Every structure is written in structure tokens, then in C-alpha cells.
Amino acid sequence: MTKKAIHYINQFFGQVGGEEAADSKPIFHSELVGCSNMLNQMMPDVEVTHTIVCGDNYVTNHTDVALEEILGWLEKQEFDLFFAGPAFMAGRYGVGCGLVCKAVKERFDVPVITSMNEENPGVEQFKTEAYVFQGGRKATFMKDDMEKMAAFAQKIVKGEDLKPAAEEGYFPRGVRFEIPHPEGTMAADRVIDMLVKKLNGEKFLSELVIPKMDKIPPAPAVKDLSKMKIALVSSSGVVPVENPDRIQSASATKWGKYDISKLDKLPQGVFKTIHAGFDPAAMCAVPDRGIPVDAMRFWEKEGKFGKLHDYFYVTVGTGTTQAYAAKFGREIAADLKEAGVDAVVLTST
Amino acid sequence: MRLEMGNFHVKDIVFGDTLSYSNGVLTVNKEELLNYVKEEEPGIITADLRIVRPGDKVRLCPVKEAIEMRCKVSGKSTGIFPGVTSPMAQAGDGRTHALKGCSLIVVGEHMGGFQDGVIDMAGKYQDNTIFGDMVNLVFVADTNEDFERFEQQKKNKALRWGGMKLAEYIGQCVKDLEPEDMEVFDLPPVTERSAEVNALPGVVYVLQPQTQMETMGYNTLIYGWDGNHMLPTFMHPNELLDGCMVSGSFMPTSSKISTYEFAVNPMVKKLMEQHGKTINFLGVIMSTLNVKMNEKDRCAKMLALMASNLGAVGAVVAEEGYGNPDVDYTAALVELEKIGIKTVGISDEATGRDGGSQPLVSMNPMTDALVSTGNVSQLYELEPMEVIGELEALARDGNSGGWEGSIHEDGSVTMENNGMFCCNHISGFSKKTCADF
């Protein structure tokens, strides 16, 4: 069964004009324009139905308006795939393709496929948002680049197994999955091979390349603790015994927020831990050892700090992915800021 | 130290009157074995034995342990698990006979837990565990251990000990037979090696078994000793191959090393094979995994120095687990690299359902040679199959790879890799890896 696709290109390839036409607004063609025809002919199971042509300056300088126009028009179309480019080394074209692909992916959740040269700044900016194929430096690579995009689209619509980024030819999107080892080689043999090569100073390929880390700068130190409103945030899994938000015992995808405004401690039997990564007996007996409300009330009464925030925030740390942890962090931080919390005691297990 | 491993290659297991082995067929008497195990482990209240073969449309769940059936023929130790099911004695010398190409698998009749797993004998996931590709004797039983019946973390003591005792009882049937082939593991003391061998790069195998549970009864055992109470220790590889280690009952099963794999450790065997050819295999540094930062740091620094004192210039580090223990794993690799010892790490990853999470909890660019054996967060879709045990255990009992709703009405299953029994085979058997998409 044929699937439908829509193709986005810039003013130059859309035959509007060169640099002087870079401010042109989106034009929606139901007759394919320029390279869209070539793309269409490459895919037996995909029909390219429309070409969208937009000026590079327009989409990069007036992004919100441009995307609104494009997405608004797409709302009325039926399509299963979205293509943009190839953009070669053209920087603004690459960024334009990336912006449109990202917006289409978010709104319509269809596969979005583009192509750029590795030196195009659009690669770094959008490789996690779309399938960005590794393209040539200039338009003489048009056919080669589109063939890669087309072959991949064919695989998608035929439901074939999609291979890792390096094999398919797109820039890694920042996601990793399990696969059968390509040569079916046992891990112990792979270790020996890597070890002997490393010992002999030969080249070897690590199966997991350690990426650069996000460095989050620590917040500035609190100035006057006695005036600070402090909140308790924890990955200890301490929740009301009925676990009202059904937070998972491992690999959590949720966090909870619970009222402690009338409590001086977390009583046994009222709170418990649901964390599956340690022996829960001690913490269930004294839930304050996960979320130290008792100690915080003590120091609050002593005047050591201003006020304990009326709620604590909690999730389960074990097996919980970094992506979810970061999401929880952003959501909880937003809530804390709104509540005027100045500092946080973060307890872990 | 010299260990002779006499192999008997089992092609099939059948029930019969007399426990015996002949021409590749292991015959077991069900009643005799069940009577024996119930007498040895009175905690076992109901028990059965089943035979499963590769290609049988059978799902085992909840799997608690897998063991190679063996017996000790000669040597210092009188049993196959010294310090555990037989008196403490040194493992790794003399002669041991083993029933190869098969295993004894322990399955809970009803109750599972966080640490238990699934094995499929057919279908898409048959090859995901080595046990799907061998004929297995399945010991499925329930116990009177009511104190942990509804606990998520279970020691599974009666079942695990029952399994070990059965494995040894059955293994006795080849004690007096002539092995079909013999593997010899003969590695002299580090100071008594030839000039040619000493000229090769010295390599150690650093094993980090799962020892993070502070409460006793859950961790990996070394000669029956809870690994939580250990510091890095230098050992002879033969000790591992001869049963000095017993797998624990803690943490998600896909990252576990079963007792079978501790003894049939392919990484140790490959290092032995390379000894005298490409490397000088110095031996095993048995380390630990800990929960406290100062314990992690102490072990990493001590094991690195131990490797250095042994003259190692290369090291293989294996981590039994993921998540928190990644800190110990990366620390060990980094401490070794810091003193100029070239490392290769072997473990699995946790990249999340969407694949977008940091694959290891702790990462350092100095760890530039890593072998990846699987992804604990990978979603698996299992077709319906006949079940030995109780499939509900996956969804009901807090299994690390299952959840409420994991099991569909037709018996098909959606689960995470986390819950498939030892499937990331950190021992080195894994034929999986991870890749960027």
C-alpha cells in the first residue's frame, strides 16, 4: 500500500530565486517542484504529494510565523512521512530543514527525514530531532543524498528492521538500543579482541563511546539560612502507605508531592517506602530516614532556617532513567520556584 | 594449579528408573530426585521435575537459578560448591566431571520476586539466554518460607540450595565414567612462568560480583562467604571454574551471573586460552560491589594497586549489575587506567524505554574500551506459550522487568529486558550489543 509524503525545500531548489528570494513566504505546491519529482520516482511505495517551498531567511528569521503557516497548512493534508532537503553545506537551509522537521515531528508524530553535510550547523542542532542523513557538500550530490533518504523511507513504510545510525547513514539521534551483535560474536571474544588490540597499540572500536556530559552549574550558596524556605526532595520512594500516585518501585516514570504542613514527623504506617533497590524494613519503620521531616522540624524550631516547605517531593531512584530524572527535576524545580522555595535538601538512598 | 574438567556432552534428558548417563542421554528418576531434595531441604513443600528442550514452546517463570550438573572426582574439595553445600576446601585442583550442554533450572511454582526471571525455550527470545539453546532439567517447587512469600526481595534459600544439591546428586552419575573429552586448566603461580610467557603483557580479570545487599542471604557467595564482607582478593581462575562462587538472589535478573555461568565462565576460559599466546594471564581479582561511596572508592583503589603489584599491564573488568554499581565499575576502570593499566570493561547498559538516557550511571572518558552486552530497558514482546511455574509472578510480585499489565489476556507478554533470566550474560556469553540509532 502506497504511503504519502510531503517534501520541504528552500527558495533556490523550489525555483523561486536565489539570495534575493530568501525572504519568500511558504508556497504550497500540489504539483511537485524540482527535486521533489526525483525523490518521488525513487520510492515505489511512497508517493510525494506536495512540495513546500520557503525562503531560508523567512523560516530562520520569522520562525514562529513560518512554522504556524506550514503546520496550519499541513493540518489539512494527509501524509505518513515528511522530507526536507537535502541541504548539503548550506547553513541556513540546513537550519530551516531542521526547524520544520522538528515542528512536524512534534505536531504530527510522523517520521521526518532530511540530509545535510557534516559541516552544516543544522546537524548539531537537529540531529536528535530528525533522521539527518550524512550528505554531500554541494548540490552535485543531490541524487546520492536523496537516494539514501528514499531507501530509508522505503524501509520504514515496508516495516523492515531499521539498522543502527552508522549502518543506515544518518547522524546518531542520541538514542541507544539493544541489537544482536552484527557478526554474532560472543562478548568474551569481543573483549579479547579489544584487549589484545589495545595492548598492542592497535585501533579498536569501543561498543559504548562515552559522550560528553551535561555540566549543570550549581546554584549560588544561600546567604542567610535563617530566612530561607527549604523543601525536602527525595528519590527514597517514601510515600503515603496507599501510594496514591502509583509511583513505580523501580524505573519510575512519576513523582509525587505530599502535604506535611501539619506533621512533625512521618509516622510509621502512614508513610512507607516503595523503593525496590534496598531492604525497605528500616525505612518503613522510620520513614523520616528517607525524608527527614523530624530533623528539619527540629532545626526549624531552633531557628536554624526560616521555614520548611509544606510539601515534600519524591520519586524512586532505582532503575529510573536519566531522561525521566531530568524531567522530574525540571518539573519539581518549576513547582518549587512558584512556591518561593529558596533551597532544597535532596535525600537519596 | 591444575584442574581437569571431564566433559559429558548431554544430547537429551529423559525420565527413567535409574539415574544414569549413557551415549549422550541423561536418565533421571523423578521420584528419587524429588524425595532426595525434599529430605535435604525440608522447606520445600511441593516440587516437580520437568524436561524442556530447545524449540519447545515453553516459558519458564519465575526462574531463580541455573546450575551446571557436576561432581567432584578428586582434589581438595569433596563437593562442587565448597563452603556452601560441602565443607570448606580449596576449589580448582584435581578432577571434576560435568554434564555439558544442559543445566538444572530452578523455577518457583508460584511466587517470584524482583530478582527472578523468564526463559523462553522457543520463539523470538529463545536465543536471548543460553539456556534457551540447551536441554534443561527444570526443578519447579514451592516452599514454606512464609516470611518472604509476599516480599519483593526474596532469598529463595530452599529453592537455590535444593537446586545445588540436585545438581550435585545428578552429577554423581558420571563420577566413575570415562569423560568424552577433557579440558585441562593448568596455570602456574605468577612467579613460576617461563621467560616467553613473562614477555607477554600481564592481564588480570577483575570480577565485580553483586554484593550490595547489606542484609545477609541475598548476595553472591565466594566459598560460602557473603561478598559484601570482602575486600578485593587475588584468586586462581581454576577456583571459579570449579565452583567457588554461588550466584546471589538480588537485583534485576538480566544483569545477573547465574551459578552456571560463574563456573562455566567464558571470559575466564578465553583468557586461559590466550595465556601464553597473546597474554600472560596473571589471575583473577575478585572485587565487590558496594553501596557506600567510601567502600566503592576503597575497593577501586585497592584492586588497581593489586593489579599493579602483580605486574599487570592489562585488565578486563566485569560488572554484575547496572545502575548504582556502574559507579564501582567506572571507578575500577578509571583507577586502573590512571596507573597505566589498559582496561576493557564488560557490562550492560540502561538507556531507558526511549533509548535517550545515559547508558551508565557513572561515566568517564578514560573508559575507552567497553563491550556492551545488552540494554536492561529494552522492551520485549513475547508470544504466548505454555508456562512452567506461574506467569503471573512477572506482573504481580514486583519483578524488575514486569509490571501490572505486563501479561495480556492471550498469554503474550510485554516486559523489559530487566526480567529475562541472566540474558545480558555479563559472564561473556552475550551475543547482543547496543548501538546508536
For residue B400, which residues of chain A lie inside 8 Å, CB to CB?
A: 250-251, 276, 319
Measured between CA atoms, how close is A27 to chain B, in angstroms?
Answer: 33
B323 touches chain A (CB under 8 A): yes
A251 has pLDDT over 80: no
Confidence band of B28 (pLDDT split at 50, 70, 90):
very high
Shortest CA distance from B351: residue in chain A: A176
Residue with cell 533551597: A343
What confidence score (pLDDT) does residue A1 get?
77
How far CA B135 is from CA of B164, B178, B235, B414, in Å, comes to 18, 22, 32, 26
- Of B153, B266, B378, nearest to A178 by CB-CB distance is B378
**CB distance from A192 to chain B under 8 Å?**
yes
**Which A residues 101-160 touch B at CB under 8 Å?**
none
Give residue A325's pLDDT: 84
Q: What is the mean pLDDT of residues B59-76?
A: 98
For residues A173 and A170, give the distance between their C-alpha atoms in angstroms, rounded to a whole number: 8
Size of interface A-B (CB pairs under 8 A): 189
A92-126 pLDDT tens trace: 999 999 999 999 999 999 999 999 999 998 998 89
**Which letter does DSSP use for residue A159 in this model?**
T
User: Is residue A213 pLDDT above 70, yes or no?
Assistant: no
**Quick one: what percent of chain A has pLDDT higher than 90?**
87
- CA angle in degrees (0–180, nearest 5) for B142-B144-B150: 80
pLDDT at A26 over 90: yes
Domain residue spans of chain B: 2-179+195-419
Of A117-126, B159-168, B334-343, which gets the smallest average pLDDT?
A117-126
Residue of chain B whose Cα is closest to the Cα of A196: B278
Tell whether the model's pLDDT for residue A320 goes beyond 80. Answer: no
- ipTM for the complex shown: 0.97
Question: Which pLDDT value is given to residue A323?
Answer: 66
Beta-carbon count within 10 A of A301 CB: 9
Taking an 8 Å cut-off on Cβ atoms, the answer to whether B346 and A248 are in contact is: no
What pLDDT, in 10s, does the model give residues B312-333? 999 999 999 999 999 999 999 9
Q: Is the pLDDT of residue A324 over 80?
A: no
Does A138 have pLDDT greater than 80?
yes
Taking CA–CA distances from A318, the nearest residue in chain B reads: B323
Establish if B197 touches chain A: CB-CB under 8 angstroms.
no
| Chain B residues within an 8 Å CB radius of A166 | 435-436
Q: What is the pLDDT of residues A267-304, one digit of tens each?
A: 999 999 999 888 899 999 999 999 999 999 999 999 99
Please report which confidence band the pLDDT of residue B5 belongs to, taking 50, 70 and 90 as the band edges. Answer: very high
Residue A212 has pLDDT above 70, yes or no: no
pLDDT in tens, B169-215: 999 999 999 999 999 999 999 999 999 999 999 999 999 999 999 99
Identify which of B349, B311, B339 has the alpha carbon closest to the alpha carbon of residue B436.
B349
Confidence of residue B381 (pLDDT cuts 50, 70, 90): very high
**pLDDT at residue A348 in the model:** 87
Domains and CATH numbers, chain A: 3-168 (3.40.50.2300), 180-211 (no CATH), 225-347 (no CATH)
Instruction: Name the residue facing A322 among B346, B358, B376 (closest C-beta).
Output: B358
User: Are A72 and A54 within 8 A, CB to CB?
Assistant: no
pLDDT at B102 over 80: yes
Cite the DSSP H helix spans in A91-239: 91-108, 121-126, 142-157, 165-168, 187-199
